[in-house]
Structure 1
Amino acid sequence: MGKSRRNKDENDSNFSQKKERVDENTINYYRRVTETLNEGFSTDEDRELFLDNVFNQLEEDGPKVCRLASTSRVLEKLIQDAQDKNILQLLKAFSQDWIVLLSDRFGSHVLQKLICQIPRCLSKNSNEDDTEDETIYTYFLNLCNFLKDNICDARTDMYASHILRVVLQVLGGVNVGEQVVRSRLSRNQDKDGQDEINVDDFSPSDKFKKVLLKFTKLILSSDTLNMEICNPTNNPLIQTVLLVLHRVNDHKCQKYLKKLICIPGLFDSNTESLPVITKDEVGSFMVEQILNLGSEEFYTELYKKLFKGKLLLYAVHPVSNFILQRLITNVKEKEHFEEIFGELCGYLEDMLAVNHLGVVTRLAEACHRLGCNQEKLLRSLKAAFHCLEPVERETKVAPLLLSLTTYEIYYDMADSEEKKEKTDKEPAKKIPVLTDINYHGSMLVQHLLKFGNPKQMVTSLLELKPVELKNLSCNPCGSHVVDAFFQSKTIGEKSREAFVFRIKGQYIDIACNKNGSRTLEMIWKHVNTSQKIAIATELGKQEHKLRGDRFGLFVHKNFGIFQFVHRRKDWEESQSASLKKRKLFEEILGVDSSGNKKKKSSSKAVDNPLKLEGQYIDIACNKNGSRTLEMIWKHVNTSQKIAIATELGKQEHKLRGDRFGLFVHKNFGIFQFVHRRKDWEESQSASLKKRKLFEEILGVDSSGNKKKKSSSKAVDNPLKLEDSDDEEEPKTKKPVLYKRKLGYEQTIPGSKKQSNEYQLKDKKMKHLLDEVTGKKKKK
């Protein structure tokens, strides 16, 4: 049976050939290579010499060896650490017969890994006279030509199509592997026992871009495109083409998208049924990708053609509901969302009944993102979970949403008892305890907590029992609800204090839990000192248990429980100091305690860097602090620089001894400041003049933002740009603007105005550099 299956696989592709037999000695040689690599080398020279010997051997038997399961993994590992000359050796060996590897199960993975190294080789040395780069470049184009000549077989072959996808990414200089929409099973199969195939981003040559456009035309102009879109082998290939084209030339990408939705038979529909492609398990992935890549104008056109008036059909269909989720995720205009929400909000209970919870979650996310229909959504959710009436039930909305069960099921009410709701009081029942948290329920509550007025959700959460809040904090899904509660901008300090008070007595259980310990550390960051003392007091009473637990040990260390118990005064001082530092960094970086950006907060810190006095050495010797201090250095005047350098110069030895402080010592010129003060002042003055000159020419301010009409001033002053014979650019009409997926406007690449402007700046920059460096133009 195994033999017949193998014969069937070999005949699937027109490429496939019989494997050559490899002797046992060769296989043992590569096993020893693996052992040597695992053992490591004493010096880099030994490693380089060893790799050279192995790749010399691979020139002879590489095409045979890479097709074996046992040795192909060895080759992949070798390629990852190979030098440019080694990559060249393998390309030369494989180029003798590309067809051998293209459709082989194991050889195709080796070839993919090899192609992924090409951007690294080409971008390392930009010198056009480099023969190695030129040869690697030539061999890669040779492979591209072979694939173009055999495109019909390559795109239908299971393994060759993967190589074609990697080649397209290299031609475009982008990595889009994770953006291809596919099933969860397919994603898991790639991760199971396989290294990820990633292409490094780089700037491709014009020749690469031309080849990419040829491939695009061949793949997207096929006569059988309507069948290929629904094919599991061709669909990811077409998605890859569109994703690469979207990054390289979005204007052409939009044209091809419009062409795709006009394919007869796939996107045709009537008022009572959905298009064929939206109901297909594979074809639906393409519709999702089209929604991701389409411009705002295209989104409107597609909505009217495929979705308008049929959203409920999409919502209840087992396949099409995922397309509806993507539609809601990509909506950017409030008007569009109002129309979508109005069509769906009355049917939330129907979506929950068919277990299509993702649609409801996407609606909540869009309501939060666009800031509309928030009260309507909450009211519709309460109606769907049967807690809208009577009013007493509204406070139970949080446990119902978290467990995704209706009021009657959660409280185990019989039908006869349900009829008595309209009379006096509901019969007394044993109140259940919230233990199980649903993933979609957790996501739903997280979005609701970020609404403009989350008062009802906050009240409902705070009415949960302490044990239920503990279960929520220790649950993998529920712990993120607690994160959202403390990080929400619309939830006040009093509500947070009430939450901390409610879980009193549960801290030790939360701290000794995998998810709970992380949640407790997040809570610690958002509470004041008095609340920290209350938490530390409770944890300190069971310090032995806390230190004995593998998760509690981190809490014990990060909260300073030992210091709190035995040296209380030192603990209070350290907490006060860390709080000041944190607030200072937040002010400098322009963020609040939740990590969200503040408006115009960073400028205040820059205007008054003396607030950091006494802290410069600690900031300079920190990974993030050193970067922050360099940013501050760029925005302060000379007197403030002297104040900073004076403090750093007093501890120059410590600064030079730290790996992060060393960069600050070098970039700030601290050695020169301490030993040759006059030279330091002259260099600072010169660098300031140069910087202002560059800013004036480039038309930007000190923060890198564009000035209005600043570039024209630079042109009007020819003394700064000697020998510039460029005439002033005539006024032309503004080029057409189009909106990309992310919602911002961009000038169409290649427009006349854009090309002239950049050309003008490049010439002036060259003259400026000649003037500043004292170099004269050689005739």
Structure 2
Amino acid sequence: MPREKQKRGRRAEQKAQKGDTKRKHDDVPEEPVAKRVKSSDEADVEPFYEDRQGDYADDAAIPAIENEEMQDESGRPDSGDTPFYGLLDTEEQEYFSRASEMLELNQFIDDEERSLFVESVYREAEGKELKIACSQGCSRLMEKLISMSDVRQIRRIFNKFIGHFLHLVQHRFASHCCETLFINAAPAVMQKPSKQQAKKAEEEGETEPELSLADMFMTVIEELKDNWGYLLTERFASHTIRVLLLVLAGEPVDLSSTDSAVASRKKERLGAPVPGTEAETASSQKHSVPESFEPALKKIMSEMVSGVDDTYLRALASHPVGNPVLQVLLFLELSHFGKSSAKDPKSVLRRLVPDESFEEGTESATFIRGLLYDPVGSRLVETMVRYMPGKVFKNLYKNNIRERIGSLSRNSTAGYVVLKTLERLGKDDLQNAMELIIPEVPGLIERARLIVPRVLIERCVVRNVDTKPLARALKNAYSGDKTLRLRQMLRLDGPPESVQGPVDHEMKDAGEFDDDHAEQARAASAKSSASAPERLHGSLLTQAMLAVPGPLSELVYSSLLAQSPETILQLAQEPTSTRVVQQALTSPTSTPQFRRQFVAFFQGHLVDLAQNSNGSRVVDALWTATKDIFFVKERMAQELASKEMVLRDSFIGRAVWRNWSMDLYKRRRSEWNARAKGIERNQEGMEGSGERPKSKIELARERFAAKQNETEGKQAVSANS
């Protein structure tokens, strides 16, 4: 008879005990209890929404610091359960989902049509704003709506949120809507509601909010004033609080920056302005704020840190959520309120590092050294190095960084602190730092940590430091073969063919090279080749070398000339290496002798390059590169003209045709010759400075403006007389 299957060990015993406990509870009659709504943090969410956490999740997780006096069992402020604003029904969800898709596509005829559509969505959302903001699927729509709203619509939605901000900023989804609302309301915070808007709203049967945007921000501060200490480390509220602090200070809120302390790299930029638009320009600049904001900001910053002791404040430096808030507080304290504020014993900087000398064995030195290698804490040290007063920075550098800068540059975490340090060093200190980093250059190149050499080159150019020792170190770090050296610089080297190739062919001939072996070979090849970020950093380092006259740029130029034409054409069409080819053609450090030899690689292949998205930029750069070798430029123009229809059939090719002024080349050859030589002729036939000749309508406008100014001047003189 077979034996009964039994689990062994402590886990089986614990599970059995849990089962007995559950059965005992089942025997007890249930008592009627009040139904509690499940909070959004406890609810199950879809995997694709995990990136909307708004915290510092891209670093190693560190245990959260809890304040038991301020929190209840659920980890929230002891202010009762989170309110439930209701759920959208099926039809409403379908409508708002379609509206979100239309806003995402943005296929409106003009801005007026888009404004009408946004207004219609607002009418449909009347009374459901809080439901939408807390909805997992529709909160994105609220962010897009706010980012496309005018001042009147922003004031209306802001007024709907008033009274609920304490709960909304802690909500997984609504917190992002609050953040977007603060960012888009900031540029208009000085505007007062006009009587015309109130009259228009009254005609449409709508109630216009009585409060201005400035008063609404003060209302938000009043709602949150007793919870700053908790919100400092709250998972979802912290990123909204950071935005609020920057808005109150009138500082730009940059969501697009990768090293921004406002949001993590994983955050969706749904409410971020489109690059290149007026909204993007306004959000990236400082804005004026009411006088009442500055004392309110000082009070908030004081209340955030006054309720905790120095030990807890230093522990926040390695807290994944509290660290970014500390960065914002330090930035505002040292940058917005002036570096003299650091002398206050109650300031954040003095509480973190009370000993400004940073001598060995002091509390400040121990604190800083503990953060240098911490993935989260090192970010706070970067902020300190960047903004702290000059005297304090010199003491920090002298006692904690200067002698160790070589070993710090080797570390993948502390190396970023080294970068911020190099940006603040003077000429003599930078010279000394370069001498200490040079021995580490071969190891940095081998491990593809290229950002330290690149920044060192850029700072040496700014401070006028001799880069010849650094050029020798880089030359020794790369191969002596000029052909191979460029591939190493651009991180294009793959698996060694001398080892991999013959073995594969022998196995194939023997009939032993099956699909499994092929898959293993492809995996090994992918593992040994450089990744896209490594290629990008390799390209940036090579471009930095090209910008320095002397041995550094000569390393690159000699390697480029040693390549075969096929390799150069391949590099011209790669997304990262094409930048190096373009800079080699247009950089001030390139000599006419180099350009005469280098442009010859592209002759006969211009049409193919002109139809490639990356190669077309190289063809455009050839126009500038051949400015002093006219016969070569004319030969290239003939090559493009011979394939006119091929270029006109290509969208990218038409851009190249236009940039080379090929229509002018075919119809008015003499004018094209003058433009190709850098000589422009204006309408009077005089030689100009190489600028585009003015059209007849532009000249007429200038004559009209001059005549208008002359008439106004005469009228002013007659009035005075």
* TM-score (norm: length of structure 1): 0.64
1:118 and 1:582 mapped to 2: Cα distance? Answer: 48
- Aligned match for 1:259, one of 350, 362, 366: 350
Q: Distance in 1 between matches of 2:215 and 2:531?
A: 62
1:556 to 634, 657, 680: 657
Superposed, which structure 2 residues align to 1:311-330 within 5 Å?
A: 311-328=405-422, 330=423
Gap change, CA 1:124 and 1:530, over 3 Å in 2: farther
SS at match of 1:280: coil
Number of the residue aligned with 2:296: 211
Report the equivalent of 1:352: 445
By relative contact order (CA 8 Å, sep 6+), the higher-ranking structure is 2
Cα distance in 2, alignment partners of residues 242 and 386 from structure 1? 45
Q: Distance in 2 between matches of 1:394 and 1:526?
A: 23
| Alpha-carbon spacing, 1:522–1:18, altered in 2? closer, same or farther (3 Å) | same
1:618 and 2:703 equivalent? no
Matched residue, 1:241: 329
Match of 1:767 in 2: none
1:390 aligns with none
Q: How much does 1:287 deviate?
A: 1.5
Q: In 2, are the aligned partners of 1:511 and 1:555 still within 8 Å (CA)?
A: yes
SS at 1:205's partner residue?
A: coil
In 1, the alpha carbon distance for the partners of 2:578 and 2:401 equals 36
1:225 aligns with 2:308: no
Number of the residue aligned with 1:304: 398
Letter of the aligned partner of 2:167 in structure 1? Answer: V
Query: Within the alignment, does 1:487 sit opposite 2:582 as a pair?
Result: no
Secondary structure, aligned partner of 1:372:
coil
Q: For the Cα contact (< 8 Å) 2:482–2:562, is it kept in 1?
A: no
**Residues 210 and 575 of structure 1, relative CA distance in 2, 3 Å threshold:** farther
Structure 1 residues 409, 121: CA separation in 2 closer, same or farther (over 3 Å shift)? same
More helix by share: 1
Deviating more after overlay: 270-279 vs 448-457: 270-279
| Alpha-carbon offset, residue 150 of structure 1 | 0.8
Please point out which of 557, 560, 573 is paired with 1:461: 560
2:233 maps to 1:168:
no
Q: 1:63 aligns with which of 108, 113, 130?
A: 130
What amino acid sits opposite 1:558 in the alignment?
Answer: N
- Tell me what 1:444 maps to: 541
Residue 19 of structure 2 is aligned to residue 19 of structure 1? no
Residues 1:336 and 2:429 aligned together: yes
Note the 1:594-743 alignment, pairs <5 A: 618=694, 648=699, 651=700, 655=701, 668=705, 670=707, 672=708, 679-682=711-714
The residue type paired with residue 407 of structure 2 is L
Aligned partner of residue 164 in structure 2, secondary structure = coil
**Residue number in structure 2 paired with 1:250:** 338
**Residues 490 and 538 of structure 2 are in contact (CA less than 8 Å); yes or no, is this contact kept in structure 1?**
yes
Kept in 2: contact 1:67–1:106 (CA 8 A): yes
1:340 maps to amino acid: A
Which of 205, 227, 234 is the matching residue for 1:157? 234
Alpha-carbon deviations, 1:301-345, whole Å to 9, x = none?
A: 2211321211232122232122223322x1341111111111111
1:574 aligns with 2:672: yes
Normalised by the size of structure 2, how large is the TM-score?
A: 0.69
Q: 1:148 aligns with which of 225, 233, 247?
A: 225
User: Which range is displaced more, 470-479 or 123-132?
Assistant: 123-132
CA shift for structure 1 position 514: 1.8
Q: Hey, what's the Cα distance between the residues in 2 that align with 1:49 and 1:395? A: 59
Give 1:400-419 correspondences, 5 Å limit. 400-403=488-491
Identity over aligned pairs, percent = 21
Kindly indicate whether the alpha-carbon contact (under 8 Å) linking 2:450 and 2:541 is maintained by their aligned counterparts in 1.
Answer: no
1:380 aligns with 2:473: yes
2:631 is the alignment partner of 1:530: yes
CA displacement at 1:68 relative to structure 2: 1.1
- Cα deviation code 1:487-515 (max 9, x no counterpart): 33233222222211243333333323221
Q: Specify which of 166, 170, 188 is matched with residue 121 of structure 1.
A: 188
Figure out how many residues of one structure are paired with residues of the other and give that number.
587
Structure 2 residue runs of 5 or longer lacking an equivalent are: 1-37, 45-72, 199-208, 274-279, 501-529
Q: Aligned pair 1:112/2:189, yes or no?
A: no
Q: Is the 8 A contact 2:490 2:542 kept in 1?
A: yes
Counterparts of 1:46 and 1:324, CA distance in 2: 48
Deviations 1:157-202, CA, capped at 9 Å, x for gaps: 1221122112112211121434877499975422366646957632
CA distance in 1, matches of 2:219, 2:40: 33
- Tell me the CA shift for residue 73 of structure 1: 3.1
The alignment partner of 2:424 has SS state of coil
RMSD after superposition: 4.7
Change (3 A) 1:411 1:497: farther
The amino acid of 1:573's aligned partner reads E
Verify the 8 A CA contact 1:79 1:114 in the aligned structure 2. yes
- Indicate how the Cα distance of structure 1 residues 32 and 325 shifts in structure 2: closer, same or farther if over 3 A, else same: closer
Greater Cα shift, 352-361 or 225-234:
352-361
Quote the offset at 1:376 in angstroms: 0.8
What SS class does the counterpart of residue 551 from structure 1 fall into? helix
Aligned-pair distance for 1:231?
1.6
Query: In the alignment, is the contact (CA less than 8 A) between 2:172 and 2:236 conserved in 1?
Result: yes
Q: 1:442 to 1:117 in 2, by over 3 A?
A: closer
- State the alpha-carbon separation in 2 of the partners of residues 395 and 53 from structure 1: 61
